[in-house]
Structure 1
Amino acid sequence: MTSGYTRTWRTARQLALTPVQANSALARRPYDLRHAGVSMRLNAGVPATQVAEWAGHSVEVLLKIYAKCVDGHDHVWLGMVDRALGD
């Protein structure tokens, strides 16, 4: 049996998304939006301590769940280290 919340979420997806998007996994569950938001903040370079506070997680839990979501930013972090060293 589905809850009223689930039925409302499904209806909202149908109204807000294109038919192709609605038939995809995009925002299939409300939790998917939370996951996307936390991942986006980490990938934007917000410190994990701040993201954890906003998400209501400990840093340990945040990094356990989301560490694999942060990818492809080695050049950013290395640039930050170089600037800190004065290079």
Structure 2
Amino acid sequence: MIQVNIDEREVRELTLQKIEEHLKKVDSELVYWDTSELKKRTCMSWNTIQKEFFFHPDFPKFKVGGKWYFPAAETKAFLLKWLRERR
């Protein structure tokens, strides 16, 4: 007879580590975001984005043709700073 003991805390910790690694990999694969990705990442509507920070002079954005693009790393850094300033 074989008996297996599982440390649930260790399993949870390993699972969270793997999820974090995967999220970092996915996040690093995106060079820029479009408006759909920006709305998804901020959990905000387009109107709220425009009202809150879109027109801020430090918000990184580029219009190519008729579409807006946002450099992923710069945009993420801006959003974290912007959010901290809202405390």
TM-score by length of 1: 0.27
Kindly name which structure, 1 or 2, has the bigger radius of gyration based on alpha carbons: 2
Larger relative contact order, structure 1 or 2 (CA cutoff 8 Å, min sep 6): 2
Q: Hey, which of these two has a bigger chunk of helix by percent?
A: 1
TM-score by length of 2: 0.27
Task: Determine which structure has the larger strand proportion and give its number.
Answer: 2
